[in-house]
């Protein structure tokens, strides 16, 4: 990529990041205007607002993939599962680009799909390890966890007056309460 094209791409992503953080709709024409870059240039880099949103979310999702990898190296299955779910809650509550990307039915960028599939694979393995070690209620399935995690994030977002770190702290507390209820000890 030429230096000017790389600079433009960086500026577009930077402006989009501010839009997302401020809760503004991500419209490519608006981003172009704010970035002082031609609309055609923005569309050349990002064909849709969804592709731009996914690009903005990629650093947080890549960090979550990294943390999933760390969790997979943790020998204790319960600690590993808790660490991964805590990282997921933190990502959901501290980066407003992440929830809409995770909830999208389709992905605009192949890289996004790869990242999401990697997370699903890691979570499947972490949950299977927790089941095998009998540290989580055997009735808890992968399908159960997505709405439960959404519920934790929703409950933490009720405190929307808090900054992202404050919401994440509430989310982690709620996650801990949820996991205490899902542990195999609680089901006995």
Calculate mean pLDDT across residues 17-26: 96
CA dist., res. 188 & res. 169, Å (int): 29
Q: What is the CATH number of domain 1-46?
A: 1.10.10
Contacting residues for 124 by C-beta, under 8 A, at least 6 apart: 142
Rounded to two decimals, the pTM is 0.90
Q: How confident is the model at residue 107 (pLDDT cuts 50, 70, 90)?
A: very high
> Where do the domains of the chain lie?
1-46, 57-187
Fold of 57-187: Tetracycline Repressor; domain 2 (1.10.357)
Distance CA 50, CA 45 (A): 12
pLDDT, residue 160, reads 67
pLDDT of amino acid 187: 54
Distances (CA, A) of 113 to 62, 101, 119, 141: 12, 10, 10, 22
Q: How confident is the model at residue 186 (pLDDT cuts 50, 70, 90)?
A: low
Query: pLDDT tens digit string along 39-67?
Result: 999 999 999 999 999 999 999 999 999 99
* CA distance to 10, 46, 84, 109, 133, per residue, from 6 (Å): 6, 13, 33, 18, 49
């Amino acid at each position: 990529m030429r230096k000017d094209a790389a600079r433009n791409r960086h500026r577009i992503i930077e402006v989009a990041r501010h839009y997302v953080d401020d809760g503004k709709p991500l419209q490519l024409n608006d981003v172009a205007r704010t970035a002082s870059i031609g609309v055609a240039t923005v569309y050349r880099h990002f064909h849709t607002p969804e592709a731009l949103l996914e690009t903005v979310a990629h650093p947080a999702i890549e960090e979550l993939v990294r943390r999933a990898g760390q969790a997979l190296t943790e020998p204790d299955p319960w600690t590993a599962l808790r660490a991964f779910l805590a990282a997921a809650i933190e990502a959901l509550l501290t980066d407003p680009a992440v929830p809409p990307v995770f909830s999208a039915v389709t992905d605009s960028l192949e890289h996004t799909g790869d990242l999401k599939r990697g997370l699903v694979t890691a979570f499947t393995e972490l949950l299977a390890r927790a089941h095998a070690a009998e540290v989580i209620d055997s009735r808890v399935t992968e399908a159960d966890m997505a709405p439960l995690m959404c519920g934790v994030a929703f409950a933490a977002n009720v405190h929307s007056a808090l900054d992202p770190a404050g919401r994440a702290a509430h989310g982690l507390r709620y996650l801990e309460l949820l996991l205490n209820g899902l542990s195999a000890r609680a089901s006995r």
